[in-house]
């Protein structure tokens, strides 16, 4: 398991997301594909993970993750955006 995957596991991200298919939220590969080439995606996704948000992928809202350290959120976002 990659360090970033372990980080996602530790923070409970896999409760709502998987690599390949939608569960509650979109699959990580879908997120990467949607934002590929979008220069502002990293900052927007960091904010979404920090503060919560919704309606980008349907009716389900992403809860805020205030207890996850900012550096972990940045690492997770960069990892997700790097997926092919």
The ranges assigned to domains in the chain are: 3-82
Determine contact, residues 36/25, Cβ cutoff 8 Å: no
Whether residue 17 contacts residue 23, with contact meaning beta carbons closer than 8 Å, is answered with: yes
Residue 50's SS3 state is: helix
pLDDT of residue 55: 81
Pick the CATH number of 3-82 from 1.10.357.10, 3.10.20.600, 3.30.70.2190, 1.10.760.10: 1.10.760.10
User: Mind listing the pLDDT tens digit for each residue in 11-60?
Assistant: 999 999 999 999 999 999 999 999 999 999 999 999 999 999 888 888 88
Q: What is the pTM of this model?
A: 0.91
Residue 10: phi, psi to the nearest 5? -60, -35
């Amino acid at each position: 398991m990659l360090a970033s995957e372990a980080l996602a596991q530790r923070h409970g991200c896999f409760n709502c997301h998987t690599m390949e298919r939608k569960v509650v939220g979109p699959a990580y590969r879908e997120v990467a594909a949607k934002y590929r080439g979008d220069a502002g995606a990293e900052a927007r996704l960091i904010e979404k993970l920090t503060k919560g948000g919704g309606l980008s992928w349907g009716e389900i809202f992403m809860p805020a993750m205030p207890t996850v350290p900012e550096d972990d959120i940045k690492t997770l976002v960069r990892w997700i955006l790097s997926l092919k």
